[in-house]
């Protein structure tokens, strides 16, 4: 592998890890995390593809809630850079519900997680505070995230603040749309629009999103995904 290729892969890995610092294990297709977890005793599998100018990726993100208020998730991605060798990325997250969201009550949660890119020194860890504010009952919900990211690349560590704001609303029967903006201190913020459809309510979801850095449409990213949710396997 040439030095140029390795440098390109490392740069792409840094970019991917940075962009994924906020899409913790949020409900697809949101990048902003929400104060919600899969039902107690159940599991879900989120699968999606990402397509950008310089790379595309395929993701699988299984998660389970065995105890009632804590969700454990482990994500795996295969990154395909343009003109470079493929990279594998792994990430994990534990989300602790502090207060459930309902039509009148603000939901609160705390998430901790991290990621690592195979064959590079790129890795990160993060802590994220999450609030979901119901508007007009649960027909519209405002999601707020504030967190801190500790990233390691090229032998250096950086600690940065992260933030995110999203509005998620019902637009038709079994359909919800979202618009959001998010960012990391010292970097250009991003925006994203998303749509999801409950194909089999409570069990199968189809979703898609498009977004980019503000003012840089050439950096746009498209995603298409599926979510499968199991029945509860614990009493």
Domain assignment of residue 60, yes or no: yes
Q: Supply the range of the domain harboring residue 157.
A: 3-229
Q: What is the pLDDT of residue 15?
A: 52
d(CA 145, CA 136): 21
Tens of pLDDT, residues 100-136? 998 889 999 999 999 999 888 889 999 999 999 999 8
Q: Span 227-235, mean pLDDT?
A: 86
Q: What is the pLDDT of residue 235?
A: 63
> 139 - beta bridge partners?
none
Domain assignment of residue 58, yes or no: yes
Locate tokens 């609160």: which residue?
A: 108
Q: What is the pLDDT of residue 136?
A: 81
d(CA 71, CA 100): 13
- Residue 20's pLDDT band, with cuts at 50, 70 and 90, is very low
Q: What is the pLDDT of residue 121?
A: 83
Domain assignment of residue 70, yes or no: yes
Domain assignment of residue 29, yes or no: yes
d(CA 226, CA 13): 24
194: Cα within 13 Å, side-chain hemisphere: 28
- Which of 23-32, 102-111, 224-233 comes out lowest in average pLDDT? 23-32
Residue 139's contacts (CB-CB under 8 Å, 6 or more residues apart) are 169, 170
Tokens of 220: 């746009």
d(CA 153, CA 120): 8
- Cα 115 to chain centroid, rounded: 12
Tens of pLDDT, residues 163-190? 999 999 999 999 999 999 999 999 999 9
The domain total for the chain is 1
Domain assignment of residue 14, yes or no: yes
pLDDT over 90 percentage in the chain: 72
Q: Span 157-162, mean pLDDT?
A: 95
pTM of the prediction? 0.88
Domain assignment of residue 234, yes or no: no
Domain assignment of residue 235, yes or no: no
Tens of pLDDT, residues 43-69? 999 999 999 988 899 999 999 999 999
> 87 - beta bridge partners?
79
CATH code of the domain containing 138? 2.40.160.40
d(CA 209, CA 190): 13
Residue, of 102 and 1, whose pLDDT is higher: 102
Q: What is the pLDDT of residue 78?
A: 95
> What 3-state DSSP class applies to 107?
strand
d(CA 218, CA 208): 19
Domain assignment of residue 164, yes or no: yes
């Amino acid at each position: 592998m040439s030095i140029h290729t390795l440098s390109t892969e490392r740069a792409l890995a840094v970019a991917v890890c940075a962009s994924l610092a906020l899409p913790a294990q949020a409900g697809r297709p949101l990048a902003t995390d929400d104060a919600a977890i899969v039902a107690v005793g159940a599991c879900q599998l989120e699968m999606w593809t990402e397509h950008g100018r310089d790379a595309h990726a395929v993701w699988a993100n299984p998660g389970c809630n065995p105890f009632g208020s804590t969700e454990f998730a482990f994500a795996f991605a295969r990154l395909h850079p343009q003109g470079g060798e493929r990279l594998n990325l792994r990430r994990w997250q534990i989300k602790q519900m502090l207060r459930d969201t309902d039509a009148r009550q603000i939901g609160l949660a705390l998430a901790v997680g991290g990621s690592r890119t195979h064959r590079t020194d790129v890795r990160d860890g993060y802590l994220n505070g999450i609030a979901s504010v119901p508007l007009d009952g649960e027909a519209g919900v405002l999601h707020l995230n504030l967190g801190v990211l500790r990233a390691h690349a090229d032998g250096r560590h950086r600690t940065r603040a992260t933030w995110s704001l999203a509005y998620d609303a019902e637009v038709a029967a079994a359909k919800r749309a979202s618009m959001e903006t998010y960012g990391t201190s010292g970097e250009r913020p991003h925006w994203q629009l998303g749509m999801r459809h409950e194909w089999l309510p409570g069990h199968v979801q189809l979703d898609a999103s498009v977004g980019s850095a503000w003012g840089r449409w050439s950096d746009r990213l498209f995603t298409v995904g599926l979510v499968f949710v199991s029945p509860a396997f614990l009493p």
